[in-house]
Amino acid sequence: MTIAKGDKLPATTFVTMTENGPEQVESESYFAGKKVALFSVPGAFTPTCSARHLPGFIDKAAELKAKGIDEIACTAVNDPFVMGAWSKSASADGITMLADGNGAFAKAVGLEMDGSKFGLGTRGQRFSMVVNDGVVEQLNVEAPGDFKVSSAEYMLDQL
């Protein structure tokens, strides 16, 4: 079942890259007590993700925070080393990269996709959500191949 507005995020574990190496991040503690703009990409370093999705959230970070967002996070079914390298290459210092290496989060929220025909295996769909204290306030899931409703600009219009 796909997660919906008003649902509490399921408990899963992400991994983020830190100065000390990979560290686990429990979703329940990460999303507790704050409003998070979370967006999911099918893969780090992939064309739309690198050229438009991540840069949009980098460019609009100050505007999102001015509208009440405490933190901006990106998730993908990639390992923390790839997510860390992508963050560095994109100068995404203000974005928390939450690696979902095994796809546990994508599966738990019902937003996985089969990218096998592109050699990607099971990945997370392209989406964005506003999560307030662990509860989904907004959910924007893209149609396959689209990049419209999961953008930072679209989210700004919702806030």
Domain coverage including residue 45: 13-158
Whether residue 77 is contained in a domain is answered as yes
Whether residue 44 is contained in a domain is answered as yes
Annotated catalytic, 74?
Answer: no
Whether residue 39 is contained in a domain is answered as yes
Single out the catalytic residue among 15, 41, 49, 61.
49
Positive or negative: CA dihedral 10, 139, 56, 34: negative
Q: What are the C-alpha distances in Å from 123 to residues 3, 6, 70, 117, 120?
A: 16, 24, 27, 12, 7
Whether residue 70 is contained in a domain is answered as yes
**CA end-to-end distance (rounded Å), the chain:** 26
- Check which CATH number belongs to the domain holding 75 and give it: 3.40.30.10
Token digits of residue 62: 């100050």
pTM of structure:
0.94
Across the 159 residues of the chain, what is the mean pLDDT of every consecutive 10-residue run? 93 95 97 98 86 93 97 97 96 96 96 84 91 98 93 96
Q: Name the phi and psi angles at 67, rounded to 5.
A: -100, 15
The count of structural domains within the chain is 1
Token digits of residue 137: 């306030």
Whether residue 3 is contained in a domain is answered as no
